[in-house]
Structure 1
Amino acid sequence: MPTDHRQLSFWFDSLAESGTDTLVARPGLSRDARYDVCIVGGGLTGLWTAYYLAKSDPSLNIAVLEKHIAGFGASGRNGGWCSALFPRSTASLERAHGRDAAIAMRRAMIDTVDEVGRVAASEGIDCDYVKCGTVAFARDAVQDSAARAEVAEAREFGVDELLYWDAPTVRARFGATAVASSPGTRQAGASGASFDPACARVQPAKLVRGLARVVEELGVDIFENTEVDDWAAHKVRFTSTDAAGDQFDGTVIAPTVVIAVEGYGAGLPRVGRRVLPLYSLMIATEPLPDAVWDEIGIEHGQTFTDYRHLLVYGQRTADNRFAFGGRGARYHWGSRISPDYDRVDRVFAHLRDTLVDLFPQAAGAQVTHRWGGPLGVSRDWHATASYNPRTGVAFAGGYVGDGLSTTNLAGRTLSDLIREETTELTGLPWVNHRSPLWEPEPLRFVGANLGLLGMEVADIEQRTTRRPSLAARLIAPLTGH
C-alpha cells in the first residue's frame, strides 16, 4: 500500500502540491469504545451519512473507522462527475419497480446533483463544483441512433432534460467535423451528441477531504489507520496501527453499524460476493492553454463521454487539464484487490489513444498522472441503501462508478432510515433492495472477464459493420439495461 498518498490520484497529488492538505492520517482508535453510530469506511458514503445524521440529530455520538485515510478509495480517485446517473436505466427501473417508482428515483438523482453543490457552498468546501452538464458525443451512425433513442426515452418519462444536438450544432459548439470514416477506422469528429444538464464537474479529493473536515467540526470522530475485521449486530471489531507500527485490537459497541466500503467490501466475509470489485483507470494531462480549450469547446464545469460500449469519461479540470478515464482493466481472481492493479500500461495507452481520437488537440499534451482503483458492482447492477432495524446494520453501495453523487443520496437516505423517519427518500425503489450474490469462482472470474471482452468486441464489431452490435445486445441484460 503506498505510504505517499499523493500517488493515489492526480486529485490527491494536487491537494498536496497546493499545500492545502498534508494527507497525513488521523490517529487510529486505540481503545474499546461505545458510540451511537459506528460507520465503517471513510469515503463519501460514510462521510455523507455522518454529515446528515449529525445535522439532523446533534446529540448522536458518531464514529467513522477508516483503514487508510478519508477518501482513500474510489471517493478520491474517480472521474469527478457529480451526475444524475444511476447504474440501472430508468426503463429497467420501471420494469422492476413500476413507473412511479422509476420516476421518483430519477427526480431524486437529479435533485442530488444540486444538493451536493448546495452543501459544498454552505459548508465552505471548495471542490471546484461547476454545473455545466455532460456532452455524450455520437461518433458514427450507430452511436447517433443510440443518442437519439436515449433522448427519446428520457422525454417519455418526462423528468430528465436531455437534448439532442445534430452535427451542425456539434460543429458550432466544439469545432468538430462530421465523421467520415471507412470500416474499421475513425476520423475525429461527431455526427451528433446528447446533452444532459444534470451534471457538475468537481475535484473529488477536495470534496471528500473537505467533507471529512466538516463532519469533524460537527463533532464526529474520524479514526484512520483503523481496519475493521468483522462486525455483527451492535458490534464492530477493529485493528488500529499507530505511527510506530504498534497494533491494537479492539471493539466498538454501537446500536447502529453502517457499512460503507463499496468495492473494498469484497475482501470482507460479511460482504464478499455481494459486490464485485471492477477496476477503472484514469490519466491526466498537463494544463492546456485557454486558446486550445476554446478550439476544443469543452467548458469549465462540462464533462464528456461518447456512446462506445467500453465506457470512457472525462472532464476539463479547474487548472485546464484533461482528466480522462475508462474501463478495460480485467477482474482478478477471488475479487482480489491490490495496489499493483491500479496501474495497467495497456489501459493507460488505450486511454491516451482514445482521448486523442476524441480531441486531436490533445495529441501534444504530456500525460502527467496515471492512476486507478476498484469500484463496486452488484450482480444486478442495482445500487442500494439498506437498513435492518432488528440488527441495527445499514449498508449502501453497488454504485458501478456512479457513486460521487449517489453517495450523497445514500447518506441522506440512511440518515432517515436510521432515525426511523418516513420520508420521500425512504420510499425510493433502491431502499432495502438486495441484489443476488455473484457466482463463486471460477464462474465469477470467467463471467466478469468475458463481459469486459464482450464490450471490447462490441465496439470493434460496431465500427466494422456499422450496425448495432449483437455482442452488446447479449451483454445488455447483465448491465442493468
Structure 2
Amino acid sequence: MSTRVPLSDGFINGEVSFWYRSSGVPAPRQRLDGPLSADVVIVGAGYTGLWTAYYLKKSAPGLRVVVLEQEFAGFGASGRNGGWLTGDLAGSHELYARSHGTEAAIALQREMFASVDEVIAVCAKEGIDADVVKGGVLTVARNTAQASRLRAHVDEARAWGFGPGDLQLLSAAESQERLRVAGTVQGSWSPHCARIQPAKLALGLAEAVRALGVEIYEGTPVLSIEPKRAVTPYGVVSGDFIIRATEGFTSRLQGLRRQWLPMNSSMIVTEPLPDSFWETVGWQGAELLGDMAHYYMYAQRTADGRIAFGGRGRPYLYGSRVDARGHTHDWTVEALWQLLVDFFPAASSSKVAHAWSGVLGVPRDWCSTVHVDRDTGLGWAGGYTGHGVTTTNLAGRTLRDLVLGEQTALTALPWVGRKVRAWEPEPLRWLGVHSMYRLYRTADARERSMRRTSVLARFADLITGH
C-alpha cells in the first residue's frame, strides 16, 4: 500500500465489507442436502431474493418458498453497497417512456419514491435496526461544467414527475449549510433518500423471512437454471417458479455470461472522526452525498461517526469475472483516499480502517428489468446499475404480483417484461467499458477549467449507451 494512504492498525482489505465488521462475517447456515420441490424457488439471498420471499409469504402464507444461496444471505452487493436507500430510478426515464409513454415512466418514478418509505416501514414493523435515517441526498457540483449539468438535471427531472418538494436546486451557500464540501459551487437536495447500514438490513431481512417459514439454504451454489428446475451440486430443486435474483453474479450462471455486465465499485471507510471534524463540516442531517463528476463518488456519515466513501475502482474484469470476497486493489484505495481528503481536507488527519469492493449488474441499455414467464416458470429481476437498495424492494413486490398472477399497478410499470440485448463478446466488452471510464476520468480532469461538459464524456456515453 502507498505510504500516501494512512492506514489504521487494524486495517482490513476485503473480508466481504466493513459492514460486517461489528457482527463478524457470517458462516453459511443450513446447506441443501438433497433434491426437493417447492412452489417458488429463488436463486440468490440478497435483497431481491429476500424481499420477494418476504412479500410472497406475507400475501400467500401457504406457499412453500425456498431460497438458494451460494455463500450466505447478504454476501453480494446487498452487504457491500454504500447504504443509499434512494428514490433515484435504476434506469433511464427517456427509454422507459419511449416504450410505454411518459406517464408510465412517471409512474415508475413515483413508485421508487414510495419504495423508500416502504423499506423504512418494514424495518420498523419487523424490528430491523439498520441505522436508518431519512436525511435526503445532497448532490454537489465542484466546477462550472458540473454545475451546468446539475441545473440541466434538475430542469429535466421536472418532466419526470419531480416537483419542487422532490428536488431542490441549491446555491453554494445553501449546500454548505448542510455539508461543507470543499470547492462546492452549486448543489441539489432531495428528501427521497435514507442512510442504511447494508449488512444490518440484509441480515435482519433474512431473519424476518425465516420467521415467516421461508427455507434458506446457504452454501448451496446453483449451477444452472432451467424451466421449473434449479440445479445444485447437492440435488435438483424443482418448483412452479424459479426466480433468478443474482444481480452482479449472474455472469457465473450457465449461458448468462453476457446478460448483465458485473460492474465493480469500491469503498473505503475512515476511523471514527472526532467532534471537531463534524463541527467543521456539518453533516448533522446524515444526508447521503454524491457529486456531478462523470467518474462519480458516493458517501455517507455512518452511525458511529465515520465517512464511508465509494467510487469506481477497476470497473470491469475481463470475461465478466467477479472478485470473491471484496478485496480491492491498492491503487483504488489510494484514489478514493485522495478524493475523500479533496472533498474534506479536515479528514486528512484520519486513517482508513477498511476497504472493499463489490459488483453490481448493468444491462446493455442501463435499465433494470423484472419479468416472470408463466409458461416456463422462469423469472428474474435486476440490472439495478447501482440503485438496488430501493429498487429491490419494488422488484420483490412486483415479482410477488407476477407469480401470484395478479394484474396490479406494479405489474403495469414499464420495466416489467422489458427485453434487453446481451452485451458484446470479449474483447469488445472489456475494451468498451475501460475506454468509457478512461474517457470519463480525462473529461473530469479537463472540466476543472471548462464551462461546459467535455466532448470526451459525450463520446463515452455513446460508446456504451449510458
2:86 matches 1:79: no
CA RMSD of aligned residues (A): 1.8
| Offset at residue 87 of structure 1 (A) | 3.0
- Structure 1 partner of 2:19: 11
1:189 to 180, 183, 187: 183
CA spacing shift, 1:479–1:314, aligned 2, 3 Å: farther
The equivalent residue for 1:244 is none
Of stretches 38-47 and 330-339 in structure 1, the one that deviates more from structure 2 is 330-339
Shift of residue 333 of structure 1? 1.5
Give how far 1:97 is off.
Answer: 2.9
1:458 to 423, 443, 449: 443
Distance 1:232 1:171, change over 3 A: closer
Amino acid at match of 2:413: L
Contact preservation (8 Å) 2:287, 2:300: yes
Deviations 1:166-217 (A, max 9, x none): 12223433345xxxxxxxxxxx321110111100000000000100000000
Q: Is the 8 A contact 2:372 2:403 kept in 1?
A: yes
Say whether 1:306 aligns with 2:291. Answer: yes
Partner in structure 1 of residue 232 of structure 2: 238
The residue that corresponds to 2:177 in the other structure is 172
- 2:282 counterpart of 1:288: no
Equivalent residue number for residue 109 of structure 1: 112
Cα distance in 2 for residues equivalent to 1:318 and 1:197: 19
- 1:229 pairs, out of 215, 218, 223, with 223
1:56-75 pair list within 5 angstroms? 56-75=59-78
Gaps of 5+ in 2: 1-11
SS in 2 for 1:432: coil
Tell me: CA distance 1:293–1:145, structure 2 relative to 1, closer, same or farther (3 Å).
same
Q: Is the 8 A contact 1:5 1:12 kept in 2?
A: no
User: 1:242 corresponds to which residue?
Assistant: none
CA gap of 1:41–1:137, structure 2 versus 1, over 3 A, is same
Out of 404, 410, 424, which is 1:419 matched to? 404
Which residue matches 2:7?
A: none
Q: Which amino acid aligns with 2:18?
A: F
8 Å contact from structure 2 (residues 248, 359) kept in 1: yes
List per-residue Cα deviations over 1:243-287 (Å, max 9, x = no partner): xxxxxx311111110100011111112322111111100000011
Identify the residue that residue 204 of structure 2 maps to in structure 1: 210
Q: Aligned partners of 1:98 and 1:294: how far apart in 2?
A: 48
**Equivalent residue for 2:124?**
121
- Indicate conservation of the 8 Å contact 1:236/1:253, yes or no: yes
Distance 1:84 1:288, change over 3 A: same
Identity percentage of aligned residues:
45
Pair 1:358–1:344, CA change in 2 (3 A): same
Question: What are the Cα deviations for residues 456-481 of structure 1, in whole angstroms up to 9, with x where unaligned?
Answer: 12212212434311011122356666
Output the CA distance in 2 between the equivalents of 1:471 and 1:328: 20
User: Which residue of the partner structure matches residue 461 of structure 2?
Assistant: 476
**Distance in 1 between residues matched to 2:390 and 2:464, nearest whole Å:** 20
For residues 294 and 109 of structure 1, what CA distance do their matches in structure 2 show?
34
Asked if the contact 1:92/1:480 (under 8 Å) is kept, the reply is no
> Which of 339, 346, 353 is 1:354 aligned to?
339
Structure 2 distance, partners of 1:410, 1:94, is 19
Provide the residue aligned with 2:381 in structure 1.
396
Q: Is the CA contact 2:136–2:287 (under 8 Å) kept in the aligned structure 1?
A: yes
Partners in 2 of 1:201 and 1:341 — Cα distance? 21
Corresponding position of 1:436? 421
Structure 1 residues 384, 144: CA separation in 2 closer, same or farther (over 3 Å shift)?
A: same
Q: How big is the shift at 1:300?
A: 4.4
Number of equivalenced pairs: 453
Distance 2:122 2:192 in 1: 17
5+ residue gaps, structure 1, are 17-21, 177-187, 240-248
Find the residue that maps to 2:235 and give its secondary structure.
strand
